[in-house]
Chain A
């Protein structure tokens, strides 16, 4: 996240009214070249990100059902916002997200760090293991949802999970087809874990290899036992910057959880994260673009708030060295 602004080093060169004509011409040429490089991208960014967000903010004050250009009579003020905030379904979706994040963030973090540490120690077949754990990253959430729903956790006898449970004499479980909590969470969390863990593992491996070896040697000389002691006093502090970044990335990815929820439990109102809810209100049968936009903006504010708080608690300033 180290954002340095020391670009365009000689940007100030050649300023001043009294510059000779040739120099002013050169300045012109420089700006022209700059815009040749940057303008296509910048125009696209304006048209497809900046203008839509502003437009959507405008729509959020109107009753924009099935339309993107409401008339002044449709103006509802903050009506969409109060409707969203008092809508029990929207509140439920925020609770669903919180529960999901409470599971997925620590579990993904611990598993990816654990795998990275294990891989860092192994000598035999290291590249093979790394590829295997990273391979699910090539799998889309749609494909994974398909396997999880129709083969592993399909809730009938021939499903893999129930076949294994049967070996231990446990009765079959309906998994996704039970609306009460523990079981469907297991399905959803395990799916996301399987896809993502290799990605964060790669980040941790890269960071582990940056730790100077002499720190371990010094600790060894000082009598520290390799293992728990070096892990808590050398490895973990050295991984601080990466850990903060990984936690942020997992949380941001969790906010955007959509695919697996829609496909696995999309019809279950008790397990609908905000994005699925917004999708269903704004682009479902009825295109409620006004309330949908209001919900999206509320969500954006919440994300910004949480990110700021997290940055404050985890010490954003300390991750500068990257």
Chain B
């Protein structure tokens, strides 16, 4: 058993061709690609802290001479784009959507997975059937419903119709089916009903799963554009994405303000990425593969 042999075995080298040269090329390729992937972020930061004159200057400037911090004040005092209000709206919509979706879909998923009701399977098939409807084409029908409820340009119209996510309910059901039954049975012996077992045993022991679903719901809600555009007709009800798009298509734009607005719109999610990336990756693996 010499080191020589060990090094030759494929397991020791991970997969694929494992010559030293190949590894270096691979590493170099990844480095070049990651620089390319980061360029848009660099551009946002550079432009947000430059003056308009610096952005449009003929020679390429890697970074502004002095960061133009005054852009921040200009952006938030610009009356044509209610950026502060839009941020507040987005935070409210994303938070309420995440909490609401999680609550409704987890309870429904648990009920479908665990409670021995005679027609549980029929209800489950109904939920599955709604998954067959392609998400994007329901915006016209849902708009019809929301407008007859009088929820146009209203927080209720932005949040409530998005809460009943059949796909998340489906994921929750599959997850609860695999939850160890012994734990719940122990709770039942201790005199807890389904409701008690759900809140005291199942939910506290499903932290990772719920966090993954929550993070991915939050990101999706914060970044969504079509639905808030359809519902948010008055500037008071714009989310960050809608405000940004109006800004983008406005007649006269200050480039630096535009990019600063983009930076502000992105910042909360960058924090989510920094601190909750583990859950996000897990959420992607869960939601993507089951889809």
Q: Which residues of A contact B (CB under 8 A)?
A: 1, 3, 5, 7-13, 15, 30-31, 33-38, 40-42, 44-45, 47-53, 55-56, 59, 68-69, 115, 117-124, 128-129, 131-152, 157-158, 160, 163, 194, 199-200, 202-203, 206-208, 213, 216-217, 219-220, 225-227, 230-231, 235, 242, 245-246, 248-249, 252, 255-256, 258-259, 262-263, 275, 278-279, 282-283, 289, 292-293, 296-297, 299-300, 303-304, 322
Asked whether B10 lies within 8 Å of A220 as measured between CB atoms, the reply is: yes
Contact of B140 among A34, A124, A235, A282 (CB under 8 A): A282
B contact face: mostly helix, strand, loop, or mixed: helix
With A49-B138, A53-B138 as contacts: A120 and B41 at CB distance below 8 Å: no
With A117-B16, A258-B225 as contacts: A49 and B291 at CB distance below 8 Å: no
Closest 6 CB pairs of A and B: A37-B111, A52-B141, A41-B108, A56-B141, A44-B164, A140-B223
Residues on A with C-beta less than 8 A from B195 are 33, 36
Apart from A42-B126, A199-B284, A200-B288, what are 13 other A-B pairs with CB-CB below 8 Å? A8-B115, A15-B118, A41-B105, A41-B169, A42-B123, A47-B145, A48-B161, A56-B140, A68-B147, A142-B245, A213-B11, A231-B16, A235-B15
Residues on A with C-beta less than 8 A from B140 are 56, 278, 282-283, 289, 292-293, 296
Asked whether B107 lies within 8 Å of A122 as measured between CB atoms, the reply is: no
Asked whether A53 lies within 8 Å of B248 as measured between CB atoms, the reply is: no
Nearest opposing residue in chain A for B243, CB measure: A142
Residues on A with C-beta less than 8 A from B107 are 37-38, 40-41
Residues on B with C-beta less than 8 A from A119 are 30
Asked whether B245 lies within 8 Å of A50 as measured between CB atoms, the reply is: no
**Minimum C-beta distance from B63 to chain A (A):** 14
Asked whether A151 lies within 8 Å of B43 as measured between CB atoms, the reply is: yes
Q: For A10, A12, A142, A148, which residue has the most chain B Cβ atoms within 10 angstroms?
A: A142
CA of A47 to CA of B280 in the docked complex: distance in angstroms?
A: 30
Asked whether B244 lies within 8 Å of A142 as measured between CB atoms, the reply is: yes
Residues on A with C-beta less than 8 A from B269 are 138-139
Asked whether B30 lies within 8 Å of A263 as measured between CB atoms, the reply is: no
Q: Which residues of B contact A (CB under 8 A)?
A: 9-11, 13-18, 23, 26-27, 29-30, 33-34, 37-41, 43-44, 47, 55-58, 60, 104-105, 107-108, 110-118, 120-121, 123-128, 130, 132-145, 147-148, 160-161, 163-164, 166, 169, 173, 177, 193-195, 198, 219, 222-223, 225-226, 230, 241, 244-245, 248-249, 253, 255, 258-259, 262, 265-266, 269-270, 272-273, 277, 280-281, 284-285, 288-291
Residues on B with C-beta less than 8 A from A206 are 285, 289
Asked whether B15 lies within 8 Å of A300 as measured between CB atoms, the reply is: no
Asked whether A122 lies within 8 Å of B37 as measured between CB atoms, the reply is: no
Asked whether B225 lies within 8 Å of A140 as measured between CB atoms, the reply is: yes
Nearest opposing residue in chain B for A198, CB measure: B37
Asked whether B145 lies within 8 Å of A55 as measured between CB atoms, the reply is: yes
CA of A262 to CA of B265 in the docked complex: distance in angstroms?
A: 19
Asked whether B219 lies within 8 Å of A137 as measured between CB atoms, the reply is: yes
Contact of B144 among A59, A157, A219 (CB under 8 A): A59
Residues on B with C-beta less than 8 A from A292 are 140
CA of A212 to CA of B104 in the docked complex: distance in angstroms?
A: 38
Asked whether B16 lies within 8 Å of A121 as measured between CB atoms, the reply is: yes
With A8-B115, A37-B110 as contacts: A203 and B288 at CB distance below 8 Å: yes
Asked whether A121 lies within 8 Å of B15 as measured between CB atoms, the reply is: yes
Residues on B with C-beta less than 8 A from A45 are 127, 130, 164, 166
CA of A124 to CA of B38 in the docked complex: distance in angstroms?
A: 19
Nearest opposing residue in chain B for A120, CB measure: B15
With A226-B10, A226-B17 as contacts: A283 and B143 at CB distance below 8 Å: yes
Asked whether B133 lies within 8 Å of A40 as measured between CB atoms, the reply is: no
Residues on A with C-beta less than 8 A from B23 are 121-123
Contact of A202 among B113, B115, B141, B288 (CB under 8 A): B288
CA of A39 to CA of B155 in the docked complex: distance in angstroms?
A: 23
Residues on A with C-beta less than 8 A from B248 are 142, 145-146, 149-150, 263
CA of A141 to CA of B248 in the docked complex: distance in angstroms?
A: 13
Q: For A52, A207, A208, which residue has the most chain B Cβ atoms within 10 angstroms?
A: A52
Contact of B37 among A68, A121, A132, A299 (CB under 8 A): A132
